[in-house]
């Protein structure tokens, strides 16, 4: 006769709950990537066409992605997911009738812009994963570190924002030259 171990049962239940939550989030992300935007769910946040994000394909083949917010701290999952949904909506607006460009070997340059009075955050405390996953699905052939490098810099600006540049790897030195104010400014916290 088996004895009932309440601790083991609780652990298995928690593992099953985590797996179900992970599967739900993965399915929502997939649906948001594939399905056209529709009306928000009743009682849910209004995410979509009026989202504070913009995607621009520049003449030199670079992509400039602008979010009207500083990326959240790690662990702030709700805010990270909201920004990811905003980013998906911006991508759909930027490429309504065509496939977006794909980058094979590239650099993602994260430019964190802090408005007056906003304290700078350490780069290792910022949540990049949700936005990077959206960018990978839309624009990258793969975000493995062998093909995609990431660069982060912070600067002071008129208001809080994050600009993410998606660049062919060979264009990164030119980006550094033309955006010196983003990374070579006086240290300020």
15 occurs within a structural domain: no
168 occurs within a structural domain: yes
19 occurs within a structural domain: no
45 occurs within a structural domain: no
Question: What integer is the mean pLDDT of 66-76?
Answer: 76
Q: How many domains does the chain have?
A: 1
Check residue 46 and give its pLDDT.
Answer: 38
Rounded Cα distance between 40 and 30, Å, is 16
Question: What integer is the mean pLDDT of 27-35?
Answer: 55
Contact by Cβ (8 Å): 88, 110? no
Check residue 90 and give its pLDDT.
Answer: 92
User: Which of 46, 52, 175, 65 has its CA nearest to residue 131?
Assistant: 65
By the 10 Å C-beta count (0-12 exposed, 13-18 middle, 19+ buried), 80 is classed as: buried
Residue with tokens 């049962």, as numbered in its chain: 9
Local structure of residue 188 (DSSP, 8 states)? -
Rounded Cα distance between 63 and 74, Å, is 25
pLDDT in tens, 114-137: 888 888 877 666 767 778 888 999
Rounded Cα distance between 179 and 111, Å, is 10
Rounded Cα distance between 19 and 24, Å, is 9
Give me the domain span that covers residue 71: 52-183
Tokens found for residue 150: 């990431």
26 occurs within a structural domain: no
67 occurs within a structural domain: yes
Comparison of pLDDT for 17 and 152, the residue scoring more: 152
7 occurs within a structural domain: no
Q: Average pLDDT of the chain?
A: 78
Domain of residue 93, CATH code: 3.30.1330
Q: Residues of the chain with pLDDT > 70: what percent? A: 70
pLDDT in tens, 152-175: 998 998 998 999 999 999 999 999
146 occurs within a structural domain: yes
């Amino acid at each position: 006769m088996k004895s009932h171990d309440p601790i083991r049962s609780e652990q298995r239940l928690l593992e099953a709950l985590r797996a179900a939550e992970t599967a739900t989030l993965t399915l929502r992300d997939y649906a948001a990537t594939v399905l056209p935007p529709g009306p928000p769910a009743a009682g849910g946040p209004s995410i979509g066409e009026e989202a504070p994000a913009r995607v621009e394909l520049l003449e030199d083949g670079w992509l400039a992605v602008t979010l009207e917010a500083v990326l959240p701290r790690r662990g702030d999952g709700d805010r990270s997911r909201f920004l990811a949904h905003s980013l998906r909506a911006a991508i759909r607006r930027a490429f309504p009738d065509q496939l977006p460009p794909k980058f094979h070997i590239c650099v993602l340059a994260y430019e964190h812009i802090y408005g007056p009075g906003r304290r700078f955050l350490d780069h290792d405390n910022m949540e990049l994963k949700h936005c990077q996953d959206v960018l990978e699905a839309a624009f990258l052939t793969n975000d493995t570190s062998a093909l995609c490098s990431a660069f982060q810099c912070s600067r002071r600006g008129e208001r809080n924002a994050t600009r993410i540049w998606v660049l062919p790897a060979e264009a990164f030195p030119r980006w550094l030259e033309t955006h010196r104010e983003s990374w070579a400014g006086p240290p300020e916290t």
